[in-house]
């Protein structure tokens, strides 16, 4: 499965989600600044930007694509790497033009 942002029409579930959590919510918060002096946030601070997850994995993947597009300004592609028989899902988000710092900090 590949999910992009072009041509996505809201489903009934997404419309219900938008009614419960209207735009102007999570991403309009000021930049995240933990109150702890150690640099770690409390759990409520860490999840304050996100509403409850949507019901299906496809809905969640589309939500990830929207969030990445909002933060980076680039259109991402979300690839579903899950196996049909696996009990868990795996995905990879590819966003041309966005930089990742993960590789620099991971041991090789």
DSSP assignment of 48-81, as one string?
TT--PPPSSHHHHHHHHHHHHHHHHSS--EEEE-
- Which has the higher per-residue pLDDT, 8 or 29? 8
The pTM score is 0.38
The fraction of the chain above a pLDDT of 90, given in percent, is 0
Q: What are phi and psi of 92, to 5 degrees?
A: -130, 135
Q: How many domains does the chain have?
A: 1
The pLDDT tens digits of the residues spanning 75-105 come to 777 777 777 777 777 767 676 666 655 555 5
**In which band, very low, low, confident or very high, does the pLDDT at 37 lie, cut at 50, 70 and 90?**
very low
Domain that holds residue 82: 2-105
In this prediction, residue 65 carries a pLDDT of 78
């Amino acid at each position: 499965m590949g999910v992009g942002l072009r041509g996505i029409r809201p489903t009934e579930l997404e419309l219900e989600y938008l009614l419960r959590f209207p735009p102007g919510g999570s991403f309009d918060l000021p930049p995240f600044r933990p109150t702890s002096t150690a640099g770690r946030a409390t759990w409520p601070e860490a999840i304050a930007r996100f509403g409850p997850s949507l019901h299906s994995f496809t809905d969640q993947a589309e939500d990830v694509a929207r969030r990445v597009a909002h933060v980076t300004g680039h259109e991402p592609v979300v690839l579903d790497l899950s196996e049909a028989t696996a009990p868990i899902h795996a995905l990879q988000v590819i966003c041309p033009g966005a930089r990742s710092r993960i590789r620099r900090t991971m041991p090789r």
